[in-house]
Chain A
Amino acid sequence: MTELDPNVQIAEDAALIQGVLPSIDANLEPPTPERKSRTLTISTYLGPFVVFVLFIVFWEYMHRDGMRRFLDKKPSLLPSPVTVIDQAFLDTRVRGQLLEGLGWTSYAAFVGLAITIVVGMLLAVIMAQAVWVERSIYPYLVALQATPVLAIVPIIYSVFGGGMSSRIYVCVMISIFPIVTNTLFGLTSVDASQHDLFTLRRASRLTRLFKLQFPAAMPAIFTGFRISAGLSVIGAIVGEQFFRQGQKPGIGIVMEQFRQKIRYPPMYGGLLIAAALGIAVFFVFSWIAKAVVGHWHEATRRGS
């Protein structure tokens, strides 16, 4: 024996002799402390704020001088941010139109996203059952992903009509790919020895799916949700370009109406609202992901 503190050694021996296992020695095995970000306030708010100010300054500059100097265009094509706020958001009538547009666009995007999530995850589960199933279905997904909406507008029109249903279809078509691929990736990349663990206990396919594969896939699935949600918003606005019937003017339609009347400030207002919707959807889904898997999944933490 080397000369250690004799008391410690005796205590350890006593524990072993009694057959009692020594409990965790904090000195030997410190649990990983929970990291807390101290630089939260500065890094979280200052950077975005500075970039925002620069963006506004650049916009104002382009309006006053840049449009003519660099693009040889009339400054009225890019109204000043102040004008946009004044004519789009402070004008009650215009604001009402824009908000109604936001409502219809959100409606199409969310219904589309809901369908996408259900259909996409079902497809992924089916594809995860066997490699040959995955191989058989995958080409059609790629084809769907690669087909431009524009190319099949007449087909969509004849099947779903010229209104909301077609817009929702466009949302689904544009946003389904990331859900399927992310879910499939999550379901099929479970650690092999964790699978062995279930195999040793003769777990059924269903048990394996719900107790192992789905929980393990949650982080990937939420990444899919987030990407698809953004695409669904794009799908809703793209859909509005082609399917305008039914008195349900989305933000894209409202913008187009202002453009036709050569009212650029409200049109830019619509653009800002559409962008805000995309950003909001992105953050909402990031937040949901963090709330659901953040307590166990490492990667959802933000690096310092």
Chain B
Amino acid sequence: MSWTDHGLEDAPTKVAPMTSAPAPALSFHGVSMVYPDGTHALQETSFTVSPGEFVTVVGPSGCGKSTLLKVASGLHRPTTGWVEVDPRSLGYVFQDATLLQWRNVQRNVELLAELEGMPKPERAAKASAAIDLVGLSGFEKKYPKQLSGGMKMRASLARSLVLDPKVFLFDEPFGAVDEITRERLNDEVISLFNQQGFAGLFITHSISEAVFLSTRVLVMSARPGRLVADFAIPFAYPRQPELRFENEFAKLCGEISHELRGAHA
């Protein structure tokens, strides 16, 4: 089921190929972040994410990857530098599903639209469409405690989809689910990216997840985080699950892993 079936034609559906640089969807300009407790999380980080790009940042634990998203979304103000993005076009998927336990799936998915003041019938329709899209149909009336970890993440995805974000921020969203579920969810993020055409900025520990999802993979150094490498991932979309077993894929993973080991030192 796609958005079009629910009368939401204006949702962007084209997958922008990497053509001549359009206006960036999100750009970091010399962003540094020092937290009040003295933690130096980011140092002079600059990069852009263009519409249709899916950029993943990998790096050692605690290198400031999540700080990138906090700064991008405006939750944290950078110490120096600035970020260019339309804050209203942002979707943010947190490390954990952050569903409100007292709301069932339907009402959870409606939440962000509700906070934006979208009228009830409209947001209910959009929520149903988003629930369909992430494959949670039939679970609308379930409460979070009745869902598995993977299903909670799907609900969390659907919640952000309702606002038709142009830029999607993912903060290690699948770190807590098992390997099989994670691959499943990766396949789904790929299809969503393919259909919805948002720009993605994804944070993860997993190199294969990064390569599988992205058009570009950035490697970040240990704290204070700096970008140390930028890999273009050439595989065409839609990507099939078998891609994970191809030689090219393994080779890229190896190169990124090598950079990452250097970054740890």
Residue of B nearest to A199 (CB): B75
Instruction: State how many angstroms separate the Cβ of A10 from the closest Cβ of chain B.
Output: 12
Contact call A28/B150, Cβ cutoff below 8 A: yes
On chain A, the residues within 8 Å of B82 by CB distance are none
B261 within 8 A of A: no
B48 within 8 A of A: no
A178-213 vs B, CB cutoff 8 Å, 1 = contact: the mask equals 000000000000010110111111010001000110
C-alpha spacing A189/B103, complex, angstroms: 18
Residue of A nearest to B156 (CB): A197
C-alpha spacing A297/B143, complex, angstroms: 9
Contact call A32/B188, Cβ cutoff below 8 A: no
Contact call B90/A23, Cβ cutoff below 8 A: no
Instruction: State how many angstroms separate the Cβ of B143 from the closest Cβ of chain A.
Output: 5
Contact call B102/A293, Cβ cutoff below 8 A: yes
On chain A, the residues within 8 Å of B46 by CB distance are none
Contact call A296/B238, Cβ cutoff below 8 A: no
* Known pairs A201-B116, A215-B100; A21 contacts B188 (CB<8 A): yes
B89-130 vs A, CB cutoff 8 Å, 1 = contact: the mask equals 010101110101111000000011011100000000000000
A257-286 vs B, CB cutoff 8 Å, 1 = contact: the mask equals 000000000000000000000000000000
* Known pairs A28-B180, A193-B96; A22 contacts B148 (CB<8 A): no
A136-174 vs B, CB cutoff 8 Å, 1 = contact: the mask equals 000000000000000000000000000000000000000
B135 within 8 A of A: yes
Within 8 A of A (CB), among B65-85: 73-75
B6 within 8 A of A: no
Spot the interface stretch: B21-29, B34-42, B239-247, B251-259: B239-247
C-alpha spacing A17/B237, complex, angstroms: 10
On chain A, the residues within 8 Å of B138 by CB distance are 24
A246 within 8 A of B: no
C-alpha spacing A34/B147, complex, angstroms: 11
On chain B, the residues within 8 Å of A197 by CB distance are 92, 94, 98, 111-112
* Known pairs A16-B241, A193-B98, A196-B75; A24 contacts B151 (CB<8 A): yes
A72 within 8 A of B: no
- Identify which of A24, A293, A295 contacts B136 (C-beta below 8 A): A24
C-alpha spacing A226/B115, complex, angstroms: 33
Contact call A201/B112, Cβ cutoff below 8 A: yes
| Interface-centre pick from A194, A200, A203, A296 (highest chain B CB count, 10 A) | A200
On chain B, the residues within 8 Å of A5 by CB distance are none
- Identify which of A25, A28, A191, A215 contacts B98 (C-beta below 8 A): A191
On chain A, the residues within 8 Å of B191 by CB distance are 16, 19-21
Contact call B146/A16, Cβ cutoff below 8 A: no
On chain A, the residues within 8 Å of B98 by CB distance are 191, 193-194, 196-197
| Interface-centre pick from B73, B184, B240 (highest chain A CB count, 10 A) | B184
Residues of A in contact with B, size category: 35 or more
A31 within 8 A of B: yes
Contact call B100/A23, Cβ cutoff below 8 A: no
On chain B, the residues within 8 Å of A16 by CB distance are 187, 191, 238, 240-241
Residue of B nearest to A191 (CB): B98
On chain B, the residues within 8 Å of A125 by CB distance are none
Instruction: State how many angstroms separate the Cβ of B74 from the closest Cβ of chain A.
Output: 8
B45 within 8 A of A: no
Contact call B102/A216, Cβ cutoff below 8 A: yes
C-alpha spacing A284/B73, complex, angstroms: 46
* Known pairs A1-B242, A31-B142; A193 contacts B95 (CB<8 A): yes
A111 within 8 A of B: no
* Known pairs A31-B148, A201-B112, A296-B145; A22 contacts B240 (CB<8 A): no
C-alpha spacing A199/B115, complex, angstroms: 10
C-alpha spacing A296/B103, complex, angstroms: 8
- Identify which of B1, B115, B146 contacts A20 (C-beta below 8 A): B1
C-alpha spacing A108/B111, complex, angstroms: 42
Contact call A31/B188, Cβ cutoff below 8 A: no
Contact call B90/A200, Cβ cutoff below 8 A: yes
C-alpha spacing A20/B151, complex, angstroms: 17
On chain A, the residues within 8 Å of B143 by CB distance are 295-296
| Interface-centre pick from A20, A21, A34, A216 (highest chain B CB count, 10 A) | A21
Instruction: State how many angstroms separate the Cβ of B101 from the closest Cβ of chain A.
Output: 5
C-alpha spacing A226/B90, complex, angstroms: 43
C-alpha spacing A297/B103, complex, angstroms: 11
* Known pairs A32-B147, A200-B73; A22 contacts B184 (CB<8 A): yes
C-alpha spacing A295/B150, complex, angstroms: 21
C-alpha spacing A106/B55, complex, angstroms: 65
Interchain residue pairs with CB less than 8 A apart (12): A12-B241, A13-B241, A21-B192, A22-B188, A24-B136, A31-B147, A32-B146, A194-B98, A194-B100, A197-B98, A200-B74, A216-B100
**Nearest 8 A/B pairs, CB to CB:** A201-B115, A23-B135, A29-B148, A215-B102, A296-B143, A193-B98, A296-B102, A193-B94
Which A residues are closer than 8 A to B by beta carbons?
1, 12-13, 16-17, 19-25, 28-32, 34, 191, 193-194, 196-201, 203, 207, 211-212, 215-216, 218, 293, 295-298
Besides A16-B241, A200-B87, 9 new A-B residue pairs in contact (Cβ under 8 A), listed by A number: A16-B240, A19-B2, A19-B195, A22-B135, A22-B187, A24-B136, A201-B115, A201-B116, A215-B100
